[in-house]
């Protein structure tokens, strides 16, 4: 009877440890990224929305090599996922390189990396200018009379 009690106690202890580890495993997290002319934005999604998505810090990196490597890539910005806007985050940057986002692991949530996107070039503020023609005489040959170039006949 004592052996049976000891076996049942060990079995209950093993099951309770298994159940506790299943409950304590971090929730999966998905991280999206999209490019726009001002930089990048995206969303943090998880089945455990409040602890894993709301106010979660998102780090944005410029990918230097062939793969995503937060330890070796250049960090270009950070933001927190807003709790009231489907957990959206935004980072303004003028970096032209490929960018990706990352959230680190927390007590209740897994870490996640987004896909890599090519950043859109910001709209150019430089406008091409045409300089107006000069108002001086242009000689085409020695026999031809001088022709004056004005704004009206300039093409």
* Rounded distance between C-alpha atoms, residue 35 and residue 114, angstroms: 12
* Rounded distance between C-alpha atoms, residue 109 and residue 111, angstroms: 7
**CA triple 38-39-40, angle to 5 deg:** 130
Burial category of 61 from C-beta neighbours within 10 Å (exposed 0-12, middle 13-18, buried 19 and up): buried
Q: What is the pLDDT of residue 125?
A: 41
Tokens describing residue 151: 């704004």
Q: What is the pLDDT of residue 13?
A: 53
Answer positive or negative: Cα dihedral of 72, 77, 83, 84: negative
> pLDDT per position in the chain (155 positions), as tens?
566 555 455 555 554 544 444 556 899 999 999 999 899 999 999 988 788 888 899 999 999 999 999 999 999 999 999 887 789 999 999 887 899 999 999 999 999 999 999 877 666 543 444 455 555 555 454 555 555 545 454 44
* Rounded distance between C-alpha atoms, residue 78 and residue 39, angstroms: 12
**What is the CATH topology of the domain spanning 25-118?**
Immunoglobulin-like (2.60.40)
**Domain ranges (residues) in the chain:** 25-118
> What 3-state DSSP class applies to 11?
helix
Q: What is the pLDDT of residue 4?
A: 53
Q: What is the pLDDT of residue 54?
A: 86
* Rounded distance between C-alpha atoms, residue 116 and residue 77, angstroms: 15
């Amino acid at each position: 009877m004592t052996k049976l009690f000891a076996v049942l106690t060990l079995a209950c202890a093993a099951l309770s440890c298994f159940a506790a580890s299943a409950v304590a495993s971090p929730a999966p997290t998905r991280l999206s990224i999209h490019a726009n002319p001002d930089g990048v934005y995206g969303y943090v999604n998880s089945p455990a929305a409040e602890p894993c998505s709301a106010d979660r810090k998102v780090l944005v990196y410029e990918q230097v090599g062939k793969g995503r490597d937060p330890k070796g890539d250049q960090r270009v910005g950070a933001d927190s996922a807003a709790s009231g806007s489907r957990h959206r985050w935004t980072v303004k940057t003028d970096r032209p390189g490929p960018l990706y986002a990352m959230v680190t692991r927390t007590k209740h949530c897994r870490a996640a990396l987004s896909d890599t996107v090519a950043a859109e070039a910001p709209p150019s503020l430089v406008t091409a200018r045409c300089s107006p023609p000069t108002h001086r005489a242009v000689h085409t040959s020695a026999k031809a009379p001088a022709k004056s170039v004005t704004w009206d006949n300039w093409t």
